Structures are given as C-alpha cells and as structure tokens.
Amino acid sequence: MQTLPLTLVVMTYNEAKNIARCLDSVPFAAEKVVIDSGSTDDTVAIAQAHGARVVHQEWLGFGPQRNFATTQCNHDWILALDADEYLTPALAEEMVAKLPALMASDACAAYLRRATIYMGAPMRFYLPSMGEKMARLYHRDRARWADVRVHESLRFDGPSVTFQARFNHENNPSLPEKQIKVLRYAELKCRDWLEKGKPVRMWQTPFVFALAFLKDYVFRLAFLDGWRGYAIAQTAASYAVYKRMRYYEMRHNPASLESAAHALTRHGIDR
C-alpha cells in the first residue's frame, strides 16, 4: 500500500494490548506518533517496534493532550485514533483512494464512521455503534480540539467530507473496565463544570436517568441488541445520573475534590 503525507497520532497510557493493532491498521501513514503519558507496561517498546515515534507528555486532559499531539506532527494532515480503535481494511483502501484529492482541497476535516465491538461481539442495531460519525481526520491549520478535560470534539469552520467504510472500536473488553472509565470520565467532566460555574440542578436527576435510558434503549434501538443493548443503555443512564450527584458533592463538599483525586490516582484510575 502506498505511503501518503499523513501523520497517525495515538494517545496512550498502558495500552500494550492494543497499540500494535491500532498502528498496523494504518499502513499508508508516512508518520506514526504516539503521545504517551507515562505507561508502566510495554506500550512504548511495542509502539516503537511497530514504527511509531514516541513522545512523552504528562497528562493534560483529553482536549489539551490532543492539541499538544498536533504540534508534534510533521505533516499537515493528521489522523487521530485511540489505542483501542483500528481501521478496517475497507476503510484503509477507501482512504488511500480518496486522500490525495482531499489533501489537495481546502477541506478542514473528514468524518469517519465508527463501529463498536461490545462484550466481545459487534453491536448489530444500536445506532451509535453502527456507524457513529466522528471527525478524526483534519488539517492542522484548519481545525483544533476543544480544550476540555473529557468528551473533546474537533472544532472547525469550513468544508468537510465523510468516508463510508467503518473503523472499529473495541469498547472496554469487560464491564469492570467500562465502569472504571465511567468513573474517570465523570470526574473529569465535573471538574470542567466546576471551573465554568455550572448551576447545580439535582431536581433534574430522576428525569435524567429515565430520559437517557429511553433515548438509548428505545430511540437508538439498543433493545434490538438484547441484554447487551440493555447494559449499554443502563450504563449510559447511570453515568448521566452519577455525574450530577458527583458535581453536587463537589459544590457542597469542596474537600471531596482532593480526597477523590488521591483515591483515583492511588487506584490507577486517574493520573
């Protein structure tokens, strides 16, 4: 497969089991850069063995970390993948065919469609897992990641295109790993809310659970994926509720910020 003037960027922290698959799925990238925030497993050695240049950067938060990664790239066009994501052969072929024209255009970014593997098997009906559009390919001078701790998105104001083939996401191999991620993401989101002074509206919490569950289980068709769909909807609704309870605690018991930070770091959930 031909090489194109593109940089693949992957952010890592203890991703030894995933990083090789991710890097190898983009054989056409002229450059591969891994931004590692202090892995204690074999992530760095494996990444280097699979052709990546590894840059160490202490964790800044998802948005700032991605923007830092952009500064480490030698090519204008950048493909951002997470370590537990990888291109399918079909998407790799589509990108090789279409990237030269895209790179010669004035486009800011491109959307990729992500399919999810959950509980060891692909989701078959749940809409966000069947081809969720995500802006992951961008021109470094025409787009920038939002400077938020979590749930970052690519911001740009200009033309974009969409690739049709999917890339895969190995979404948390087990429920305990999913719950650990939920705990970490909720803490980061609440810290963003705290900095912005978002009002506390605990009265909404019971309705939030019901509406979030209904949205995923019914309107996004999770129920068609059986008990796996129920698990996804329940986890999403619980996350929506937990964020609000944790934010209420932060506002009413500021000492919990330091206590929680120590506990999350001690158990390897945050860094």
Structure tokens, 160? 């974009």
**What is the pLDDT at residue 247?**
97
- Residues 6 or more apart whose Cβ sits within 8 Å of residue 187: 246, 260, 264, 270
**What is the pLDDT at residue 267?**
87
**What is the pLDDT at residue 9?**
98
Question: pLDDT, tens digit, for every residue of 33-66?
Answer: 999 999 999 999 999 999 999 999 999 999 999 9
CB atoms within 10 A of CB 198: 12
Is pLDDT at 1 greater than 80 in this prediction?
Answer: no
Share the mean pLDDT of the chain: 96
Is pLDDT at 262 greater than 90 in this prediction?
Answer: yes
**What is the pLDDT at residue 150?**
94
Alpha-carbon gap, residue 80 to 261, rounded angstroms? 28
Residue 223 contacts residue 230 (beta carbons within 8 Å): yes
Is pLDDT at 156 greater than 90 in this prediction?
Answer: yes
Single out the residue of 101, 15, 113, 33 nearest to residue 69, CA to CA. Answer: 33
- Residues 6 or more apart whose Cβ sits within 8 Å of residue 202: 244, 245, 248
In percent, how much of the chain has pLDDT > 90?
Answer: 93
| Residue 29 CA, distance from chain mean position | 20
- Residues 6 or more apart whose Cβ sits within 8 Å of residue 17: none
In one letter, which amino acid is 17?
K
